[in-house]
Structure 1
Amino acid sequence: MAQPPPEDLPVLTEPADGVPDVVDTAEGRRATLAALAAGSGPIAVDVERAQSYRYYAKAYLVQLRRPGSGTFLIDPIAFETPDAEVAHFAALRDLIADEEWILHAATQDLPNLVELGLRPTRLFDTELAGRLLGLPKASLGAMAERYCGVRLLKEHSAVDWSRRPIPRDWLVYAALDVELLHELREKLTVELRQAGKLDWARQEFDYLCRWALEPPAERPDRWRRVSGSHQVRTPRGLAVVRELWLARDEVAHRTNQAPGRVLPDAAISTLAAMITKRHPAVPNAREMGQVEGFRRRQARQYQSIWRNVLDRVAAMTSAELPPLRLTGNGIPMPRNWQRANPDAWERWSKVRPAVVALAEELQLPVENLIAPDALRQLLWQPPSPLSVEAIDEQLAGLGVRPWQRELVAPLVVELLD
């Protein structure tokens, strides 16, 4: 039977059990633990953040739902203490650690949960399951329409969850984020089994449990990721980007504001791009005031800081300026291989299209068949002598899961041997 168009589906506006009170007291915490212990089966988990508003990408609300227990909205901020916030979640950790967790897009929420001392040993990621099934859209809203026949309104997805008290309509939204996860898990499990992909999914979910315990390495020179900085063509212009980014980060950290709310990226890169070979002078305060982002009320509060930055950059010697490009120690992007490593370019030209074709045949995104970085590392310097076993070993060291290696390793040998 054809799926009705989204606009014809009913809108889910209230949780089935009503909107629960926010758990923000020791008494409420004890009642939550008792109710969760009385339930059974997997536990749906979700997290709300305020990354567009606050400097710290922390959890401002944790949602839990379990059959026989109901839905719970826990305010982690209410349990913060100077010594150890995670101590307040120790009992919850002990209660649910060995249960299966159901999350949607787990990589977004797991870092926040780990910060609270909550680490899964088993999980089911509905978004990842949808990707493995090759769904055209794997958002929670799209999957609710496809499998549950209802629409979820997502108008509160980017609100300031650090606000207290949390408005009721936001709590409705938060509760509905875990309302359908059990139903989705059941229906996705059936489809994964029918497609012969259930073992693939289990391997992916096990990998996510391990991934949650490995904090990502901090990127060096994060200031180089300022949007629009590719338009900056001079070392002194890059110094403006660097020094403004550092000054903005200090202000954002001190005031717990999202850096973009203190000063937009576009303002930094626009001002820095004013410095060219023909006009090498650092912009003055008047020119700074012509850039729209510096005229915003929030940015105007720190005008003296921005002016001091410009004065400091103007006084820098050439040796103090950052290089236009970093000398990379890693593997370059494949578009540069033809000149840097012709043999690797030939391997890439043979293997990459075949991997894309295989992913299409299996009806899943190519990045879920093999991580792009793992394929680049393999083809930049494959093992010698070439064999399925040697490639399998190299890919295993790069974190590629067994089901992926079983598909990719023979293909690579066939094309390159």
Structure 2
Amino acid sequence: MTSIPPILTTTAELTAFLADLANDTALAVDLEADSMHHYQEKVCLLQISGTQQSALIDPLAMTDLSPLAPVLSDPAVRKYFHAADYDIRCLHRDFGLEVRGLFDTMIACQFLGEGKVGLADVLQKYYGVTLDKKFQRADWTKRPLPEDMARYAAEDTRYLHALGEMLEKRLREAGRLDWVAEEFELLEAVRHSEHEGPLFTRVKGASRLKPRQLAVLELLLEFRDEEARRRDSPLFKVLGNAVMLEVAREQPTSLRALTGLSGMPARLADRYGRRLVELVRQAQDLPQESLPVIPRKERPVRDPEVDQRMTKLKQWRSARAEELGIDPGVLINNATMEEIARFNPDSAEELAQAGILKRWQQRELGPSICDALRKER
């Protein structure tokens, strides 16, 4: 059974732990957050493993994590993460911490053509390790932290050093280490961003609603947000999107009509029914000129020649991805190919000047992309 690392609850303890890691050239890092249990998501636990020792850092007890800033931002110290995008955003959002020297083992797996890139799958494949997933949706704000949850958290960084070193060796042998290095560099710069504009723009399916229905949905979403904040609960635990979309479409103006809706749980009708009906009536009373509309992005005019070039590029990508043993979407995504199809470069040099591709893509793929486009001319 995995031993539990010390749980650090003071800045002094954190400073002492980092001093013990001063000679380490690589750290494994992971975090746990509480998005499944609270309105305002926050980091609840940090797991850091050096080559010889590990610790769990409790940011709920420790208000000052600034001692972490120098080591996390030092590019000379390798930082192993698995699926780092979310972690990097959270570390910067909650603590202003930046990560340099990143090595993301999930991205490394993608560029090596691994079919399954989840940490549990990779560790099972290479080390025969079975990760216990029972605490993936746990409430990490619990204090004192239960022993089994602490042990679970420690497992996520236990094998990252060995995994990262193995993947780096394979990437070097495949000639793809500089490919992922650029991907890591771009990933280091991601940041959490707040959504702007109407709440309904974040709901899948809202674009099919009429303006009056959108008005209902927006009032429902505003109510849900206020209720979730009051209860300190995630939004989905107050009202699900599917229920609100159904209310917006049907616009029930009585409790009987509301409870008769498809997918309307009786407990929700009992708890919020009167308020939901009231919001529907408010939306129906709005003047026509004040009704919301879906903001539409101007779509590029369809061009048959661009479509033809796009078809050629997709054929080229499929063949190249198969040759390299990489998922086509990892090699180059559709949005980038469409931009190339519209630009229609005459040469690799012209394509490079356009700045459409990443450096590794331009170097490894640019000439063959232009060759594929020439064949259809």
TM more than 0.5: yes
| Mapping of residues 10-409 of structure 1, within 5 Å | 14-15=1-2, 18-37=3-22, 39-68=23-52, 70-80=53-63, 88-98=64-74, 99-115=77-93, 116-209=95-188, 211-212=189-190, 214-216=191-193, 218=195, 220-229=197-206, 233-275=209-251, 282-291=252-261, 292-293=263-264, 295-296=266-267, 301-303=271-273, 305-323=275-293, 325-329=294-298, 331=300, 340-379=302-341, 381-382=342-343, 386-394=346-354, 396=355, 398=356, 400-409=357-366
> Number of paired residues?
370
8 Å contact kept, 2:30–2:157:
yes
Q: Secondary structure at the match of 1:20?
A: coil
Instruction: Report whether the alignment pairs 1:413 with 2:370.
Output: yes
Q: C-alpha distance in 1, partners of 2:264/2:87?
A: 31
8 Å contact kept, 1:274–1:283:
no
8 Å contact kept, 2:90–2:192:
no
Q: C-alpha distance in 2, partners of 1:303/1:162?
A: 32
Q: C-alpha distance in 2, partners of 1:329/1:193?
A: 43
Worse overlay, 307-316 or 283-292 = 283-292
Instruction: Tell me by how many angstroms 1:225 deviates.
Output: 3.6
Unaligned regions of 5+ residues in structure 1, if any? 1-13, 81-87, 276-281, 332-336
Report the residue type matching 2:343 in the other structure: P
Q: C-alpha distance in 1, partners of 2:145/2:116?
A: 30
8 Å contact kept, 2:4–2:151:
yes
- Cα deviation code 1:22-54 (max 9, x no counterpart): 2223443343333333x5121100011122222
Q: C-alpha distance in 1, partners of 2:59/2:256?
A: 45
Instruction: Tell me by how many angstroms 1:61 deviates.
Output: 1.0
Q: Which residue of 2 aligns with 1:9?
A: none
CA RMSD of aligned residues (A): 2.4
Q: Secondary structure at the match of 1:44?
A: strand
Instruction: Tell me by how many angstroms 1:63 deviates.
Output: 0.7
What percent of counterpart residues are identical?
29
TM-score normalised by the chain length of structure 2? 0.89
- Cα deviation code 1:158-191 (max 9, x no counterpart): 2222233322211111100000000101111121
Instruction: Tell me by how many angstroms 1:364 deviates.
Output: 1.1
Seen in structure 2, the aligned counterparts of structure 1 residues 287 and 227 have a Cα distance that, compared at 3 Å, is farther
Instruction: Tell me by how many angstroms 1:301 deviates.
Output: 4.7
Q: C-alpha distance in 2, partners of 1:23/1:201?
A: 33
Q: Secondary structure at the match of 2:323?
A: helix
Seen in structure 2, the aligned counterparts of structure 1 residues 215 and 26 have a Cα distance that, compared at 3 Å, is closer
Seen in structure 2, the aligned counterparts of structure 1 residues 96 and 348 have a Cα distance that, compared at 3 Å, is closer
Seen in structure 2, the aligned counterparts of structure 1 residues 303 and 30 have a Cα distance that, compared at 3 Å, is farther
Unaligned regions of 5+ residues in structure 2, if any? none
8 Å contact kept, 1:24–1:78:
yes
8 Å contact kept, 1:89–1:117:
no
Q: C-alpha distance in 1, partners of 2:144/2:61?
A: 11
Q: C-alpha distance in 2, partners of 1:134/1:44?
A: 23
Instruction: Tell me by how many angstroms 1:192 deviates.
Output: 1.2
